[in-house]
Structure formats: structure tokens, C-alpha cells
A = this chain, B = another copy of it.
Amino acid sequence: MENTRDKLIDATFDEIYSHGYQGAPLTDILKKAGVHKGSMYHFFKNKKEMALAAIGEKMFEKFNERYSYVESYQIGILDEFYKRLRDLTARDFKRGCPIANIVQEMSNIDEDFNVLMKSIYEVFRENVKSILDKAIEIKELKPCDTTKLALFITSTLEGAILSAKATGDEQDYLDVIDEMIDYIQMKRG
């Protein structure tokens, strides 16, 4: 059974992911969590602190799930990466990417959100970079500036998700991803 704090973290992340930070009233979060107000203020100083905790903890949790395979994988890591990129079941195009959503909404508005999202985005990029580095190590990719290539991949991925969210067409996501994969393949050697 989930404890009260976890219920709050989960409900907060989900409500913010669905409606944005500014569009997620505390009462809705509390209702979803099934937790009373005073109880919430026992665990968190205020709504913002709870939101920062929820975003940080859930995102790092997601990264651990999504990129843990990099450790164990040896051959075919790039193909595995492509396969996961093309896997639509892992994506929610209605809501988009939680990182992008919060960066867009909050980075310019609140310095604490800005700092948090910056570090989350950095970890995202490092995860992609580590895949590329491993691919180079096992000669599945020609040596190149993996920092820049990881930046290009994360940017394009975020843009692809945005396009699909804007048009409501998952195919747009796939088209961009396939074009991006073509580009990486050219570097494959």
C-alpha cells in the first residue's frame, strides 16, 4: 500500500502533467490523492515545494526505468535505442513530454523550476550520450562529438513529440524519428 507522501507525489505529477503547474489546483491534487489538506501541509511546505519534489522524483524514476538497459546491453545497442524511440506505447501524445511541458510553462517564470528542469534536461541528454558512447565503444558508430549528437537527438525527439501533440497525428512523430534515425545511420559508418 502506497503511503500518503507517495500518493501526493503521484497525484501531483499526474495533475501537473495533465494541466500544467498553474492549471493544477491543489484541491484537485488532493482529491486525486485522497489526502486532506492539512495532511499535505504536514509533508510539504507549500504547493510549489510539493510540485518540485514530484517532478524531480518522478522524472528521475522514469529515467531509471527507461535507460537502465544501457548498462547491460552490449551488441545492437543502437538498434535497441531505435526500437524504443519508435515504440508508441511508451508515449502519450495527448499530454506530450512532461519535461518539455514544464520547461515551456515554468522555466521563464520561476527560478526554482528553471534550475530543476535544467538538471532534468541535462540528465536526459547524458542518458542519450551514454548510449552513443557505448555504441562507439563497441564500434557500432563512428567516433563523433556525442555531446552534440545527443543534443541533436534530444532536441529532435522533443520537437517530434510536440508536432504530434500539435497535429494530433502520431505518424508525424514517427516520420520525424525515422528521418532522425536516417541521419544517425549516415554517421554509423
Q: Is A22 part of the contact surface with B, judged by Cβ < 8 Å?
A: yes
Contacts of A78 in B (CB 8 A): none
**Structural contact, A155 and B148, CB atoms closer than 8 A:** no
Contact indicator A165/B108 (Cβ below 8 Å): yes
Name the segment of A30-38, A47-55, A80-88, A99-107 touching the other chain. A99-107
A122 at the interface (CB under 8 A from B): yes
- Which residue of B95, B155, B175 is within 8 Å of A108 (Cβ)? B95
Provide the residues of chain B in CB contact with A165, threshold 8 Å: 103-104, 107-108
Which residue numbers of A lie inside 8 Å of B, CB to CB? Answer: 18-20, 22-23, 94-96, 99-101, 103-105, 107-109, 114, 117-118, 121-122, 148-149, 151-152, 154-160, 162-163, 165-168, 172, 175-176, 179-180, 183, 186
B105 touches A105 (CB 8 A): yes
Residue in A100, A103, A104, A166 with the greatest tally of chain B CB atoms within 10 Å: A166
Q: Which residue of B lies closest to A168 (CB)?
A: B118
* Residues in chain B near residue A160, CB distance under 8 A: 155, 159
A52 CB to nearest B CB, Å: 16
Instruction: Pick from B105, B168, B183: contact of A20, CB below 8 A.
Output: B105
Cβ-closest chain B residue relative to A163 = B155
CB distance from A15 to the nearest CB of B (A): 12
Instruction: Tell me which of A20, A96, A117 has the highest count of chain B C-beta atoms within 10 A of its own C-beta.
Output: A20
Which chain B residues border A168 with CB–CB below 8 Å? Answer: 114, 118
**Is there contact, CB below 8 Å, between B22 and A166?**
no
- Alpha-carbon gap, A35 to B107, bound state (A): 29
Determine if B104 and A105 form an interchain contact, defined as CB atoms under 8 angstroms apart.
yes
* B residues in contact with A22, CB < 8 Å: 20, 22-23
Q: Across the interface, which residues of B come within 8 angstroms of A180, CB to CB?
A: 152
Across the A-B interface, the 4 shortest Cβ-Cβ residue pairs: A159-B159, A155-B159, A121-B166, A104-B104
